Amino acid sequence: MNATSLSLLPAKLIVLTLALFGTVAVQASVVINSTRIVYPQDDKEVTIRLENKSLAPVLIQAWLDSGDEHSTPELAAIPFVATPPIFRMEPGKQQVVRLAYTGETLPLTQESLFWFNVLEVPSQSPGAKQSNQLQLAFRSRIKLFLRPPNLPYDVETAPGKLQWRHAPTAQGQALEVFNPTPYHVTFEQVAVLVAGQRHAREAVASGAENMVVPGGRNRFEFPSLKTPLNTAATVEFQTLDDFGVKVPHSAKVSP
């Protein structure tokens, strides 16, 4: 969840926000009931449930983008409609947001990736004016996978079809993974076992570095591994399924 300046909001919404709430407290409170969204392409819509966990009302804006984390609702030209796009949530209440695919032509042979955004503007806290708090909003962002019908096999089999090979870099030892499947595969952990020793991948900050797209490649570096990999090496990794559950896997590394 990110703290975001109110300049992200459209001018009309800023006015509405200030009229409703005044100065913003620096605390996020809205929870999304899922860590990812799978949208079957033939469905008319899917629903996402939000809950306001705070003791004060919040103003919410919901939209989707195609991968630009700096997107705004005005600039995100994507084939989805979020309803309602702007609403107020009372403390302790829930709200359903409906996402409808508008039918633009997208690949039928693989998933397409989009992102669902929830921008939250909290209400004014006691003493906020006196303490000169910054006006901040909070944005949560989760993946949405638009999944075409009739893909050749189930998504659960995709991690087992990944291909791993030794790919050393100037910085040290690394593995490259190739995804021949029509599904996006998201990693939670990646480690390599060599001569009885387990070496974890280098920590990363970007969400894109934790995923391999259909037909794409990704690279994982292992700073603690000093010797070249060989055919006896095994990669152990965890992926996240459609429900955000961690699933363990292992595979042999190709030279």
Question: How far is residue 155's CA from residue 102's CA, in Å, rounded to a whole number?
Answer: 24
| Separation of first and last alpha carbons in the chain | 40
- 123 or 140, higher pLDDT: 140
Task: Dig out the tokens for 185 from the structure.
Answer: 């595969």
Pick the CATH number of 155-253 from 2.60.40.10, 3.40.50.2300, 3.40.50.80, 3.90.1300.10: 2.60.40.10
Task: Output the pLDDT for position 168.
Answer: 81
Asked if the model's pLDDT at residue 118 lies above 50, the reply is yes
Query: Could you say which architecture CATH assigns to the domain 30-125+133-147?
Result: Sandwich (2.60)
Residue 130 predicted with pLDDT over 80 = no
Digit-coded pLDDT (tens) for 89-104 = 999 999 999 999 999 9
Is the predicted pLDDT of residue 12 greater than 50, yes or no?
no
In the chain, what are the domain boundaries? 30-125+133-147, 155-253
pLDDT in tens, 29-52: 899 999 999 999 999 999 999 999
pLDDT value at position 6?
A: 38
Bridge partner list, 78: none
User: What number is the average pLDDT over the span 155-178?
Assistant: 92
Q: What are the C-alpha distances in Å from 242 to residues 33, 49, 111, 189, 238?
A: 13, 16, 13, 17, 13
pLDDT at 88 over 60: yes
Q: Say yes or no to pLDDT of 196 above 50.
A: yes
Do 155-253 and 30-125+133-147 have the same topology in CATH? Answer: yes
Looking at residues 228-255, what average pLDDT do you find?
A: 91
pTM here? 0.84
pLDDT of residue 172: 79
What local confidence, expressed as pLDDT, does residue 8 receive? 45
Q: How far is CA 69 from the centre of its chain?
A: 10
